[in-house]
Structure 1
Amino acid sequence: MARQWAVFVVFALNGLVLGSWAPRSPALIEQAGVGPGAFSVALLAGSVGMLLAATASGRLLERFGARLVIAVSGLALFAALTLLGSAQSLPWLAAGLLCLGATSGVLDVGMNVAGVAVERAAGKPLMPLLHAGFSVGSLVGAGAAGLAASADWSPARQFVVAAACAAVVLLAVLRPLPGVARPVDTAAPASPATLRVLARRPVLWLLAVVALGSAIAEGASSDWSALLLVTEQGVDEGAAAAAYAGFSFAMALARLAGSWAQARFGAGRVLVVGSLAAGAGLLATALAGVPWVSYAGFALAGAGLSACFPLALGLAGEAGRRADGSGGEREVAFVTAIAYAGFLAGPPMIGGVAALTSLSVSFVVVGLVAVVIAPAAAAATRRLGAGAADRRTALR
């Protein structure tokens, strides 16, 4: 139980960092003296950092174990947050977001590998519950950011306080975290051949589709929901912000119940039903054009998507499980890296469709992306089930 709570806290700390800085974007833009276009370039640097770091993190976790990787990447993430808070120019802002993205990417894979380890040790589904920690941390960070802005705190002051508090909490929960998964001298050497072996496994690509679709739908809801309600449905900015708040709150609540749902109905059914519900919510939001439908649609999308990303990573870890109960680090990193491509490509895709048509049409596309998760999830869980049966037969 101590391990489970320790990993939950790490998820929450990662979410806390995101919730701390994202609401202060207007202040960061003003402080750095850049416009929205230049800020989007800086955000791209952060996405690139996440993608590159996630790709390389599997080998680090295999060699050094989750505890050490989480400790180093977590402290580096908090340091990057303070660097971002003091940004005074576009290069400084881009460098801060690049460091933030890279350290967050390593921590993200590390905490998911740790989550897979505690889930195996407990013998019951835990990944949705652990990911609820990220949602809770994001909400706490966003609330603190709002209070800091109301008190006229600069981003630098707020981020230093947040980073210091987060570092103290991280150091307090390090001991129970999973350590080295297997002896270093038995770890397979990293090589391009390893990546080719992973890329030849269809189940990993299917799980990557689940994670990628979830990332695109989550990113669209966070980045474009308020703009959709303001520009297409005539809602004022203050009321439009409630759309993403409802999305996040519904996701957090659903994740708290996600482990029970997975144990009761199975990962495949939870993924299929959740993705179809998310698609229905997003399509209703785009097609109805009525604010109250949009609020309900985003809440339904948040609840539906709540299990998609955590279950995709949990199943990726299961796909890489070895006979001694270890393994899965590189599989989790592989799926996570592809999912981060969704965060990288999603905003330009949605913006491009909106420029050619409208933002409502963009959300129709996003809703269809969420629906595509369902067949990919069903196929992936069938393959994993067949593989598990084959392994049990071989052992007998």
Structure 2
Amino acid sequence: MGDVVAVLVFFAMNGVVFGSWASRVPALAAQVDAAEGVLGLALLGASVGMIAAASVAGRLCAVHGARRVLGVSTLASAAAAPLLGLAPSPLLLGLALVLLGACVGTFDVAMNVAAVTVIRATGRPMMPVFHAGFSFGGLLGAAGAYAAVTAGLAPFAHLVVVGVVVAAASIAFVRQVPDEVRQTDAPVAKGPAPFRRPVLWLLAAVALCSAVAEGASADWSALFAAEYRGMGEATAALVYGAFSIAMAVTRLFGEWAQRRFGPQRLLVVGALVGGGGLVLSAATSAPALTFAGFALAGVGLAYMFPVALDLAAAAGRRADGTGGERELGFVTAIAYSGFLAGPPLIGGIAHLTDLAFALGVAGVIACVIAPAALAARAAARREEIVRV
């Protein structure tokens, strides 16, 4: 049980880091005196760092073990976050975000690899539950940011406090994080590279579409509610809250849902529910249905990313029960590109049409997860036949 709690703590701390710095973007923009376009370029630094790190973090975990990589990357994230509060220009803010993104991206892959180890040891499909820890950590980070703003703390002081909390949690729990133990001393057969395996590309497509739809909900829901549905600023902010809380709470039931329905059915049904929720929000003019649509999007998208990672790790499992680090890192790196490309994609479509149409497109992208998940299952079965 201690290893489950320890891994949950690291998921929560990852969410705390993300929720803390993301909630201080307005203050950071004022700090570097950046216009929206320039700020947008600076903010891309976080995604660039995350993509670059995720592509190698899986291999680091395979060589050094998830526990060691997780401990180092968590402390590095805690140290890097306050640097945002020291950046005097958009360029230096962007570079600081590249560094933070690389640290958090490594942290992210390592915690998911550790989660896979717990899942294999316990036989419990807990990946969505671990990701609930991230969701609630993000909400906690946002609440902490609100308290910091209310108390008049500058971003640097606030993020120093966050860094101390995250570092202390890492030191307290890292020893309880499990590493996979190989059952044989024979050389490990690496198998084909992840990019040569269709099943991993299809699972990456699931995670990518999920990232685009989730990013669209996170970045545009409040603006859409305020400008297109006539809600006040405070009420519009609650629309994003409805999405986030619905996702977090739904993930808490992930173990039961995965046992009851199976991973592929969760992906297919969740894609249709999440995509349908976004389309509903885009198509209706009633504020209550806008809330309901984004809440449905949170429910439907809740399992997409964690289940895709769970299946990716399973696709890389070796005969001795270990493995999957490279495969998980591959899928994560491609998924991060969705967080990178999603906001400008939706923004560009909104510029050419309007935001309601753009959110409808995001809903259609979410629905693409359903055929991708079915194709991934078929590809996995074909691989098993070839192996036999």
Task: Indicate the TM-score class for this superposition, using the shorter chain for normalisation.
Answer: over 0.9
Distance change >3 Å, CA 241–CA 185, structure 1 → 2:
farther
Matches of residues 71-90 of structure 1 in structure 2 within 5 Å?
71-90=71-90
Question: Within 2, Cα distance between the matches of 1:84 and 1:242?
Answer: 27
Question: Within 1, Cα distance between the matches of 2:352 and 2:142?
Answer: 33
Is the CA contact 1:60–1:69 (under 8 Å) kept in the aligned structure 2?
A: yes
- Indicate yes or no: 2:120 matched with 1:120: yes
Distance change >3 Å, CA 261–CA 386, structure 1 → 2:
farther
Question: Within 1, Cα distance between the matches of 2:51 and 2:171?
Answer: 26
Question: Within 2, Cα distance between the matches of 1:184 and 1:110?
Answer: 23
Counterpart in the other structure of 1:65? 65
Question: Within 2, Cα distance between the matches of 1:31 and 1:184?
Answer: 55
Secondary structure, in 3 states, of the residue corresponding to 1:368?
helix
Counterpart in the other structure of 2:366? 370
Counterpart in the other structure of 2:174? 174
- Indicate yes or no: 2:207 matched with 1:211: yes
Counterpart in the other structure of 1:30? 30
Percent of aligned positions that are identical? 52
Counterpart in the other structure of 1:254? 250
* Residue identity in the other structure for 1:369: I
Matches of residues 41-52 of structure 1 in structure 2 within 5 Å?
41-52=41-52
Report the number of matched residues: 387
1:12-70 residue CA offsets vs partner (Å, 9 max, x unmatched): 00000011111111111111221221110111111111111111112111110100100
Counterpart in the other structure of 2:153? 153
1:124-154 residue CA offsets vs partner (Å, 9 max, x unmatched): 2010000000001001111111011011111
Please report how far the alpha carbon of residue 229 of structure 1 lies from its aligned counterpart in structure 2 after TM superposition: 1.2
| The one of 302, 312, 315 aligned to 2:308 | 312
- Indicate yes or no: 2:229 matched with 1:238: no
Please report how far the alpha carbon of residue 291 of structure 1 lies from its aligned counterpart in structure 2 after TM superposition: 1.6
| The one of 310, 318, 324 aligned to 1:328 | 324
Worse-superposed segment, 173-182 or 379-388? 379-388
Is the CA contact 2:200–2:312 (under 8 Å) kept in the aligned structure 1?
A: yes
Worse-superposed segment, 63-72 or 31-40? 31-40
Please report how far the alpha carbon of residue 184 of structure 1 lies from its aligned counterpart in structure 2 after TM superposition: 10
Distance change >3 Å, CA 184–CA 38, structure 1 → 2:
farther
Please report how far the alpha carbon of residue 199 of structure 1 lies from its aligned counterpart in structure 2 after TM superposition: 1.7
Please report how far the alpha carbon of residue 123 of structure 1 lies from its aligned counterpart in structure 2 after TM superposition: 0.8
| The one of 271, 292, 297 aligned to 2:288 | 292
Question: Within 1, Cα distance between the matches of 2:85 and 2:248?
Answer: 27
1:295-328 residue CA offsets vs partner (Å, 9 max, x unmatched): 1111110011000000000000000000011110
Question: Within 1, Cα distance between the matches of 2:386 and 2:133?
Answer: 35
- Indicate yes or no: 2:193 matched with 1:197: yes
Distance change >3 Å, CA 84–CA 188, structure 1 → 2:
farther
Is the CA contact 1:208–1:339 (under 8 Å) kept in the aligned structure 2?
A: yes
1:192-230 residue CA offsets vs partner (Å, 9 max, x unmatched): xx8x73222111111011100110011111111111112
Question: Within 2, Cα distance between the matches of 1:379 and 1:172?
Answer: 42
Is the CA contact 1:267–1:381 (under 8 Å) kept in the aligned structure 2?
A: no
Is the CA contact 2:229–2:287 (under 8 Å) kept in the aligned structure 1?
A: yes
Is the CA contact 2:117–2:179 (under 8 Å) kept in the aligned structure 1?
A: no
Please report how far the alpha carbon of residue 247 of structure 1 lies from its aligned counterpart in structure 2 after TM superposition: 0.5
Is the CA contact 1:354–1:362 (under 8 Å) kept in the aligned structure 2?
A: yes
Distance change >3 Å, CA 388–CA 30, structure 1 → 2:
same
Question: Within 2, Cα distance between the matches of 1:22 and 1:51?
Answer: 18
Is the CA contact 1:65–1:181 (under 8 Å) kept in the aligned structure 2?
A: no
Counterpart in the other structure of 2:140? 140
- Report the TM-score, using the length of structure 1 for normalisation: 0.94
Question: Within 2, Cα distance between the matches of 1:100 and 1:184?
Answer: 37
Question: Within 2, Cα distance between the matches of 1:20 and 1:175?
Answer: 25
Superposed structure 1 runs of 4+ greater than 4 Å apart:
180-189, 385-391
Question: Within 1, Cα distance between the matches of 2:159 and 2:86?
Answer: 9
- Indicate yes or no: 2:162 matched with 1:162: yes
Counterpart in the other structure of 1:279? 275
* Residue identity in the other structure for 2:351: A
Distance change >3 Å, CA 322–CA 365, structure 1 → 2:
same
Question: Tell me, which stretches of 5 or more residues in structure 2 are unaligned?
Answer: none
Is the CA contact 2:69–2:107 (under 8 Å) kept in the aligned structure 1?
A: yes
Please report how far the alpha carbon of residue 347 of structure 1 lies from its aligned counterpart in structure 2 after TM superposition: 1.0
Is the CA contact 1:3–1:118 (under 8 Å) kept in the aligned structure 2?
A: yes
Q: Compute the RMSD of aligned alpha carbons.
A: 1.8
Is the CA contact 2:117–2:180 (under 8 Å) kept in the aligned structure 1?
A: no
Question: Within 2, Cα distance between the matches of 1:334 and 1:18?
Answer: 21
Secondary structure, in 3 states, of the residue corresponding to 2:174?
coil
Please report how far the alpha carbon of residue 95 of structure 1 lies from its aligned counterpart in structure 2 after TM superposition: 1.6
